[in-house]
Structure 1
Amino acid sequence: MITMTNPMGHFRNKVVVVTGACAGIGRQLCLRFAKAGAWVAMLDLNQDELDTMVNHLESLNTQALGLKCDVADYQSVHEVFNRIVDHFSGIDVLINNAGITHHSAFADTDIQVLRRVMEVNYFGAVHCTKAALPSILERHGQLITMSSVSGYAPLWHRSGYNASKHALHGLFDCLRLEVAEQGVDVMLVCPGFTATDLNRNALQGDGGIDANPFSWQGQLSSAVDVAEAIYQGALQRKRLLVLSNLNKSARVLYRLFPSLFERYIALKMSGVNGQR
């Protein structure tokens, strides 16, 4: 359980960078940190949506910057982060939120789909962290990276997505050791199934957009609640935040009886027999 705290001015005038900023959890994170007085730099693929977000955040009496960027493109990331540092004179918090998924069996998934998922979810976080780290080290700031329930448990027809999330844990758990003595905190966030556009924009095995996204046979978390929990975790400078709507017994089931857990997941996801 996250203790609800809100120290006055903790993030006021701190520079928070959010990737995948215009929808779902990313959008709600921008709003939450802006309401706390942070200056927010937003990265996404749609400049019109970014401009709308900038106007909205500035109406909350804070500073905002919206920059179009594909986090999988390191040169673009490098240029964008230079602009952020020039504009705000530094970065205090980086939230690696941008991500994509796929709905397809490994045998039916083109290698380019698997590469794209890894390029966005894993290398996107690598690129942004490399670009932001010098400033975050200087300011003794925070690195926050969105993992998933799939960071510790398998999900049906998500082999590439699961692999990318496992890779994030390997990277940021090691990075935490390297930067701890320099006053930088690293937090990995593992939400459960959340009502966002991630699954509605999932890739098929051939690279097309899945027109029939899966439905989770259970309660979905809201992006607002997830963003609030992440904000509270950032205040407490946590190292791991697990926000799963899989109950504790399900998580214990995975650790002790993984085959039973896999059947449980299959039952909770739509199309159990012949499921996508």
Structure 2
Amino acid sequence: MPHKVFHSKVFERKVVLVTGGCAGIGRALVMRFAQAGARLVILDLQQSELDFLVQHLRDQFNAEALGLACDVADAAAVNQAVALASERFGGIDVLINNAGITHRSTFSETDLAVFQRVMAVNYFGALHCTLAAFDSLVNRHGQVIVLSSLSGFAPLLYRSAYNASKHALHGLFETLRYELKGSGVNVMLVCPGFTATDLRKNALVGDAAAARPPLAMGRVASAQDVAEEIYQAAIKRKRLLVLSNVNWRARLLARYFPRLFERALLPRMSGLKPERNRS
């Protein structure tokens, strides 16, 4: 998808913090906002990957960027990272809660440790970052962007921990949006469909080990296309962005026609082969 907006100066010199920014949608978002003239704060786990990305941003976009190794599940580490970012750039204008992990295992085969780790990264990670950046976002009339999933409104089989974490994100950030009404802070939930990232490839299995190769998920979007849609929605300060390969059908059927959803969409969305979906 070609970039639609080159002239917009909405994010020029704005400070944009992206978690999980070294790969997938996170990396694509970092590149897109750098192209728009933003100053980047990138959180991820490996400092060597962060250093490489920061240098790449300088070389390609002459962008100011700070890469900080940080596990978003660690509240103290997040507080320290946001403090360093604020010291460097003066505050945070846009927080993009992108970091996330998933798993693939039945509920009965999923260890408690997997539920705890998925929730720690996907839910508490976003909570930690938002709490740490909250005052700055309010003072700057900023924006919180939260990467959810189509599973936030339509469940996927063998992802009970992942689905739960995404539902928790919706509960938290929809409430926050109401509480921030009139403050000038925008809260946008983003629900991508299946995207070509390492998330599924690095999914956990029930015992928290690396998963077997991912199942085919049908049509898959590129991280760059998803990032562009998010960028355009951020300019418009949207509240909800649904970018699912089955978009409105999944939302409509899961909510109003759950039995039809279970038959028509759930198996395909969950990566099951047709012959395994026999009633």
Which TM class, normalised by the smaller chain length? over 0.9
The reply to whether residue 270 of structure 1 matches residue 258 of structure 2 is no
Matched with 1:150 is 151
Contact 1:70 1:76 in 2 (8 A): yes
CA distance in 1, matches of 2:118, 2:274: 24
Matched with 2:253 is 253
Matched with 2:105 is 104
**What is the CA distance between 1:21 and its match in structure 2?**
0.3
1:239-271 per-position Cα deviation (integer Å, ceiling 9, x unaligned): 000011115334322223212212322145134
The alignment partner of 2:211 has SS state of: coil
Matched with 1:168 is 169
TM-score scaled by length of structure 2? 0.94
The reply to whether residue 122 of structure 1 matches residue 123 of structure 2 is yes
Matched with 1:236 is 236
The alignment partner of 2:158 has SS state of: coil
When residues 22 and 230 of structure 1 are mapped into structure 2, their CA distance, relative to the original with a 3 A threshold, is same
Matched with 1:19 is 19
When residues 188 and 250 of structure 1 are mapped into structure 2, their CA distance, relative to the original with a 3 A threshold, is closer
Q: Which moved more, 1:207-216 or 1:23-32?
A: 207-216
Contact 1:16 1:92 in 2 (8 A): yes
Q: CA RMSD in A?
A: 1.6
CA distance in 2, matches of 1:179, 1:250: 29
**What is the CA distance between 1:74 and its match in structure 2?**
0.3
**What is the CA distance between 1:214 and its match in structure 2?**
1.9
- What one-letter code is carried by the residue in structure 1 that aligns with 2:147? M
Q: Which moved more, 1:59-68 or 1:28-37?
A: 59-68
1:82-93 matches, cutoff 5 A: 82-93=83-94
CA distance in 2, matches of 1:273, 1:81: 49
Contact 1:154 1:262 in 2 (8 A): no
Matched with 1:186 is 187
CA distance in 2, matches of 1:191, 1:72: 22
The alignment partner of 1:180 has SS state of: coil
Q: Which moved more, 1:205-214 or 1:17-26?
A: 205-214
The count of corresponding residues between Structure 1 and Structure 2 is: 272
When residues 135 and 157 of structure 1 are mapped into structure 2, their CA distance, relative to the original with a 3 A threshold, is same
1:172-212 per-position Cα deviation (integer Å, ceiling 9, x unaligned): 01111122211100000000111110000000000101022
CA distance in 1, matches of 2:247, 2:143: 29
CA distance in 1, matches of 2:116, 2:249: 34
- What one-letter code is carried by the residue in structure 1 that aligns with 2:117? R
1:148-169 per-position Cα deviation (integer Å, ceiling 9, x unaligned): 0000011010011000000001
When residues 134 and 147 of structure 1 are mapped into structure 2, their CA distance, relative to the original with a 3 A threshold, is same
The reply to whether residue 40 of structure 1 matches residue 77 of structure 2 is no
Q: Which runs of 5+ in 1 are unaligned?
A: none
Matched with 2:140 is 139
When residues 250 and 128 of structure 1 are mapped into structure 2, their CA distance, relative to the original with a 3 A threshold, is closer
**What is the CA distance between 1:273 and its match in structure 2?**
5.7
Contact 2:104 2:158 in 1 (8 A): yes
Matched with 1:76 is 77
CA distance in 2, matches of 1:178, 1:5: 31
**What is the CA distance between 1:84 and its match in structure 2?**
0.3
The reply to whether residue 198 of structure 1 matches residue 162 of structure 2 is no
The alignment partner of 2:50 has SS state of: helix
CA distance in 2, matches of 1:267, 1:28: 27
Contact 2:152 2:167 in 1 (8 A): yes
Contact 2:99 2:122 in 1 (8 A): yes
Contact 2:143 2:187 in 1 (8 A): yes
**What is the CA distance between 1:7 and its match in structure 2?**
5.1
The alignment partner of 1:8 has SS state of: coil
